[in-house]
Amino acid sequence: MRHRRLLAAGAVGTVVVAAALGISSAAGAAPSASAPRASAPRDEGAPDSLRALAAKIGLRIGTAVIPFDLNTPAYRDIVADQFSVVTPGNEMKWQVVEPTRGTYDWSGGDRLVKFAEEHGQLVRGHTLLWHNQLPAWLTTGVANGTISDTELRALLHKHVIDEVTHFKGKIWQWDVANEFFTDSNPSGINPNDFWVSHLGAGIIAEAFRWAHQADPHALLFYNDYNIAGEDGTNAKSDAVYAWLRQMLAEGVPINGVGDQGHLDTQYGFPTQMTQDLRRYASLGLKVAITEADVRTFVNNPTAQVPTDHLATFAQPYEFSQMLKACLAVRQCISFTVWGFGDADSWIPGFFTGEGYATIYDVNLQPKPAYFDLQQDLQLAAYGAPHRVHTDQH
């Protein structure tokens, strides 16, 4: 078993809130010859692989990757064979790329980009503006007053420009801003967010403008959890939709919205997901499922065997329904699972007693969820076969 684990963008916020608890012109910009092109995913590998089947309808099927786990042959082969877009789990976050002020470490991100280029894959950059996984020198400086708000803004500007410029022409989608809305009803931009509390809510739009300045051809996404009905009330989706509409009216270069898609079998499937994805698309935005996993209660964090046998049916069902929501919306351009193997999942380390959240087990063997996704993509790619002829009329 590998010792590195993926960290989810959602951290504490990815707990699904059950009902019981209380573009601008840039949106349509065409990629240049030097920018990643996604109109025709390469149909490579086995014809029944997830990536090959998804390619038939122009969908990118993806996974979050731990770049240095690519040293493991079985892990590397699955990434190459099954997925056509990859996301670094941690290696493009500020804490990792600038651990010491003024000293960058691009090694993890560069390695993943190189792997993607070698295997006909595209890359989702993740993430430029988030309250978590910030470098200690930054948060300490802000806390003790040695970094003023004016300097903080300048540092953020430099970070966005430097990182997007470093990867310019190599990133298909950037998660520019991540998790800014509250889980309350009504929802809204969180005034206590690290960035909002110091620089105001307008800093989100600024980050999109800076990213667009650095790479005008990358697709720029707002990414969040519980924004496709997972909260049971749709309050968060309503708030994000209203904010996106306002930002687009103001000319902010937002190209897409990503619903993370962290689900839990105990809450059931969010039935408004397709509707909410369509609503975002109606604004002229691309949409994506960016961090899909479906957790359930397990015996222990190592074996991750579900404690309720019905969960072995519910877990793949919810994965399938999530993919179908994407398939139903033409503007849904990618479906990414947040790591494909249970051994690397962030779930057991964060949700006590839960796991079994991905599509491969702890031994990197495909689970029922994998086969359900494969079947859904087969039907999407080829349709159901016509019935055999009979003599009956």
Please identify every residue annotated as catalytic: 179, 291
Distance CA 10, CA 21 (A): 19
Containing H/E element for 369? Answer: helix 368-382
Q: DSSP 3-state helix, strand, coil percentages of the chain (rounded to 5)?
A: 40, 15, 45
CA distance 49 to 327: 17
Tokens 């002229």 belong to which residue? Answer: 284
Three-state DSSP state, 83 = coil
Is residue 145 packed enough to be buried (19+ CB in 10 Å), middle (13-18) or exposed (0-12)? exposed
Helix (H) or strand (E) holding 202: helix 202-214
Tokens of 158: 């430099």
Closest by alpha carbon to 88, among 2, 173, 15, 3? 173
DSSP 146-182: SS-HHHHHHHHHHHHHHHHHHTTTT-SEEEEEE--B-
